[in-house]
């Protein structure tokens, strides 16, 4: 029964994708895509309820397995996916209406978004690490054409950069995976079989894995997957891709794709920690985390483009997540996962809001946009509240999760890293506030009247922000799920 739910979760986006390929674009097909994400969300909630205190749910003879960690990720993907698919309907309507893209081209977009969602869902529900790798690579294939969908010179440049850099990253992660397989082969098991690469079997066997090979393997895996996570020094594609992609695609990439790639790092970390002790992965993650924070802070200060500003903020938040994972206690991992949920929702709201602003203002320069709160109270208000959430102010959940991660870091003796992180976060805080003030505040020009934002934009985004605030105030219903998810990769 639960296995069928899992299959439905993976099947719904694939079915929606097939429909999108077969019919030329019309609004109904777009809403079918939204329906698919709602199915995924419902299925994710059912699975979460099943696995929170029970055993993992499996399907396809054990090839798919969802434990509490997988369930958290499915729910995040579904939440952000729903927001992005609703926005996609409006985006494609606008593009087709304005003659920027043909119905066939729009249909391709609809199909690829669903394939992208299915690939992310497969990555977090695959039982073995080779399958997770294949799924994460599939996300690159699906998103390359989505990034370049607008077809402008800059969009083409961004998508080329994206595919070239991420291919290197994914190949590096593959080499790391091969070496983990090698270590598992020599840990005393029979001839190579996919059973060797099963996540839970690997964690259970991890103390017997060869430490020398595992050290090399984990370093390669972190370097490889961190390309997809957008951590420095492999982040250079991210601001280009996230700023040039259509807004719903940016929301998906920033809100969940980065987190899905980080999920793979978390899984590998559990294996590496078993073989090497926590010191090695901690040093590596602290280094990339702090470097990412520094890169983001330094490039946010003088940023002139608001979509690139949001992209650098994603690098900052992934840096925070890496630091939290470096601490590695169950408390830290629970905070990391809460941060992933909160960041996914908030960043989706901000990217979708900025897509709205780009469509009406025709510029992505911070300096060219002013007085949004007065001129477009709907989307301006959403952007303002979203920025508050992103800055980690209470009552939003990012406040709670940042506090949790810092506490955990101090507990394990990483107080110095937390201190540096706080200083860099202060720089980011100042930069984002000043850019936000520039765009949002100011009086109406003489004779100007405020424009209403359509309800189809306001309602989903406002709901997401309310959800983010609620998660910050009441721990239920996520807390038990996050706790048991944290226990799967931390001890």
Partner 1 sequence: MSGPSFATALELGAGAVLVCAVLTMWRRSLAAIVRLLALQGVALAAVALVLGLHARDGVLVGVGAVVVVEKGVALPAVLLRVVARDTSSRETAPLVNVPASLVATGALTLLAFAVAGPVVALVPTVAGRLVPLGLATALIGIFAMAVRRRAVSQIVGLLLLDNGIALVAFLATGGFPLVVELGASLDVLLLVVVARVLGTRLHERFGVLDLDELRELHD
Give the footprint of partner 1 on this chain (CB under 8 A).
Answer: 130, 133-134, 137, 140-141, 144-145, 148, 151, 153-154, 156-161, 163-164, 167-168, 170-171, 174-175, 177-179, 181-183, 185-186, 191-192, 194, 210, 212-213, 215-216, 239-240, 243-244, 299, 303, 308
Q: CA–CA distance from 261 to each of 63, 174, 279, 293, 478 (Å)?
A: 19, 13, 22, 18, 21
Q: Of the two residues 59 and 223, which places its CB atom closer to partner 1 in the complex?
A: 223
Q: Token pair 């002790």 is at which residue?
A: 277
Q: How far is the CB of 271 from partner 1 (least distance, A)?
A: 16
Q: Of the two residues 164 and 403, which places its CB atom closer to partner 1 in the complex?
A: 164
Strand intervals (E) in 7-129: 57-59, 64-66
Q: Of the two residues 159 and 314, which places its CB atom closer to partner 1 in the complex?
A: 159
Q: How far apart are CA 2 and CA 50, in angstroms?
A: 8
End-to-end CA distance of the chain: 31
Q: Of the two residues 217 and 321, which places its CB atom closer to partner 1 in the complex?
A: 217
Cis omega (within 30 of 0) for bond into 233: yes
Q: How far apart are CA 141 and CA 190, in angstroms?
A: 34
Q: How far is the CB of 213 from partner 1 (least distance, A)?
A: 5
Q: Of the two residues 300 and 371, which places its CB atom closer to partner 1 in the complex?
A: 300
Q: How far is the CB of 360 from partner 1 (least distance, A)?
A: 23
Q: How far is the CB of 173 from partner 1 (least distance, A)?
A: 10
Q: Of the two residues 212 and 413, which places its CB atom closer to partner 1 in the complex?
A: 212
Cis omega (within 30 of 0) for bond into 477: yes
Are 241 and 253 in contact by the 8 Å Cβ rule? The answer is: yes
Q: Of the two residues 304 and 452, which places its CB atom closer to partner 1 in the complex?
A: 304
Q: How far is the CB of 164 from partner 1 (least distance, A)?
A: 5
Q: How far is the CB of 122 from partner 1 (least distance, A)?
A: 12
CA dihedral 46, 48, 52, 58 (to 10 degrees): 80
Q: How far is the CB of 185 from partner 1 (least distance, A)?
A: 6
Pairing state of beta strands 64-66 and 57-59? antiparallel
CA geometry: angle 318, 319, 325, nearest 5 deg: 85
Q: Of the two residues 271 and 323, which places its CB atom closer to partner 1 in the complex?
A: 271
Q: How far apart are CA 90 and CA 356, in angstroms?
A: 10
Q: How far is the CB of 477 from partner 1 (least distance, A)?
A: 37
Whose CA is closest to 125, among 224, 206, 11, 255? 11
């Amino acid at each position: 029964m639960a296995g069928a739910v899992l299959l439905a979760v993976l099947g719904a986006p694939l079915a929606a994708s097939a429909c999108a390929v077969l019919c030329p674009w019309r609004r109904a097909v777009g809403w079918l895509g939204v329906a698919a994400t709602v199915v995924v969300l419902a299925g994710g909630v059912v699975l979460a309820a099943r696995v929170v205190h029970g055993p993992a749910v499996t399907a396809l003879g054990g090839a798919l397995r969802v434990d509490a960690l997988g369930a958290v990720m499915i729910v995040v993907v579904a939440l952000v996916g729903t927001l992005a698919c609703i926005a996609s309907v409006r985006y494609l309507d606008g593009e087709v209406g304005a003659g920027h893209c043909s119905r066939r081209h729009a249909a391709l977009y609809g199909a690829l978004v669903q394939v992208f969602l299915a690939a992310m869902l497969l990555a977090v529900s695959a039982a073995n690490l080779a399958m997770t790798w294949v799924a994460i690579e599939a996300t690159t294939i699906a998103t390359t054409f989505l990034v370049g969908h607008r077809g402008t010179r800059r969009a083409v440049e961004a998508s080329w950069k994206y595919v070239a850099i991420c291919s290197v990253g994914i190949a590096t992660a593959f080499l790391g995976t091969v070496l983990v397989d090698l270590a598992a082969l020599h840990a005393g098991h029979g001839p190579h079989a996919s059973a060797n690469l099963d996540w839970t079997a690997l964690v259970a066997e991890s103390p017997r894995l060869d430490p020398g090979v595992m050290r090399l393997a984990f370093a390669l895996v972190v370097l490889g997957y961190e390309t997809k996570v957008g951590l420095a020094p492999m982040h250079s594609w991210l601001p280009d891709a996230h700023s040039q992609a259509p807004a719903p695609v940016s929301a998906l990439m920033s809100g969940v794709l980065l987190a899905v790639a980080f999920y793979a790092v978390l899984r590998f970390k559990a294996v590496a920690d078993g073989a090497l002790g926590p010191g090695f992965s901690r040093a590596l993650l602290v280094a990339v985390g702090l470097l990412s924070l520094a890169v983001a802070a330094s490039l946010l200060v003088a940023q002139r483009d608001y979509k690139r500003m949001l992209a650098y903020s994603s690098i900052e938040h992934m840096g925070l997540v890496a630091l939290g994972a470096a601490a590695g206690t169950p408390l830290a991992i629970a905070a990391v996962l809460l941060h992933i949920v909160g960041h996914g929702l908030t960043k989706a709201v901000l990217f979708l809001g900025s897509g709205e602003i780009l469509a009406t203002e025709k510029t992505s320069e911070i300096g060219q946009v002013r007085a949004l709160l007065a001129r477009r109270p709907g989307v301006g208000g959403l952007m303002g509240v979203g920025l508050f959430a992103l800055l980690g102010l209470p009552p939003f959940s990012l406040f709670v999760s940042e506090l949790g991660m810092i506490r955990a870091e101090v507990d394990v003796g990483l107080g110095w890293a937390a201190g540096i992180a706080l200083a860099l976060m202060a720089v980011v805080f100042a930069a984002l506030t000043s850019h936000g003030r520039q765009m949002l505040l100011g009086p109406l020009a003489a004779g100007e009247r405020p424009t209403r934002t359509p309800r189809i934009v306001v309602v989903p985004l406002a709901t997401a922000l309310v959800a983010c605030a609620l998660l910050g105030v009441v721990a239920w219903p996520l807390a038990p799920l996050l706790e048991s998810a944290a226990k799967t990769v931390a001890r």
